[in-house]
Amino acid sequence: MIDPHALPVGFAAHIRERTGVEPVEPRAAATTVLVRGGRPGVPGSLEVFLQRRPAGMAFAPDMLVFPGGGVDASDALALGALPPAWAQWLGCTADEAAAIVCAAARELFEEAGVLLAGGAGCANLQELSDPAWESDRRALETRRTSMGEFLLDRGLVLRSDLLAPWRIWTTPVFEPKRFRAHFLIAEAPAGQAPRNASGESVSGGWVTVADALRGAGKAHAMLPPQILMCAELFEFDSAAAAVQAGWQRRRPEVQPHLGGDADNPRLEFGTELDRVWDEVSPAIQSE
């Protein structure tokens, strides 16, 4: 298991090279942490859906990530009135909140083939086997249509109530490619099986948060936000409880920064995540 505070070999030199360089403005992004299962009374048994990015990608190559991506200008137009709690929790305008929630749902459909939408009665879709759904997904992925147009054509409404906010992560100032990523969480909808749907991943599958943490740095590579998200979910033994917890409080935003000293530089995330890591890592290492 890798410590998310540890810097990769040679990374300190990369940071020093960019010292004094004007930070790049982070782009708004949204990620959906899809969860399922869990066994009562068994910490770490909750499952998350992770995808491995191609080795040739400019950002996070060969890493396990949650489905997600940048917020598009058209995303704000895909939702009607979003409950005010979203803007309050995310600390932004109503239009910005709508764009973030829509982007999270759109990216989940594009990359994993899971659609959080329903008809007029708002029951979530459970059957996407018709090839026409794949055609629609491809049209979204290639930007031949927008999420708003797709939903309107299908007579669907986005089920924002199935999503909950979790935490906002901003890429460190020393990185040349930066995002302000909004991590949202949702329970896997009945009848829909997530899959490796787009060219932005080479594989995908369900893994318990315990196994994701145990294999980080050994069986697979993960970035600190993914590692620490799994650590935060370690205590939950059901998907419903994890999603409900998303709304229970506004978690501090995280922007990792360089800490430690010249002989032992490390990434720092804040006392709250340090506490979570200190509680979870011994449980994983003892198994």
Residue 2 lies in a domain: no
Secondary element (H or E) of residue 181: strand 179-187
Residue 64 lies in a domain: yes
Looking at the structure of the chain, the number of domains it has is 1
Residue 249 lies in a domain: yes
Confidence band, pLDDT 50/70/90 cuts, at residue 23: confident
Residue 4 lies in a domain: no
- For residue 262, what pLDDT is reported? 67
Residue 3 lies in a domain: no
pLDDT value at 7 more than 90: no
Q: What is the pLDDT of residues 96-127, one digit of tens each?
A: 999 999 999 999 999 999 999 987 666 677 77
Residue 6 lies in a domain: no
pLDDT value at 71 more than 80: yes
Give me the CATH number covering residue 167: 3.90.79.10
pLDDT value at 173 more than 90: no
How much is the average pLDDT of 140-153? Answer: 94
- Number of Cβ within a 10 Å radius of residue 144: 11
- For residue 198, what pLDDT is reported? 86
Q: What is the pLDDT of residues 218-261, one digit of tens each?
A: 778 899 999 999 999 999 999 999 999 999 999 999 999 888 77
pTM here is 0.93
Q: Which domain holds residue 132?
A: 11-285
pLDDT value at 33 more than 90: yes
24 or 201, greater pLDDT: 24
Residue 1 lies in a domain: no
pLDDT value at 82 more than 80: yes
Whole-number average pLDDT of the chain: 90
Residues of the chain with pLDDT > 90, as a percent, come to: 64
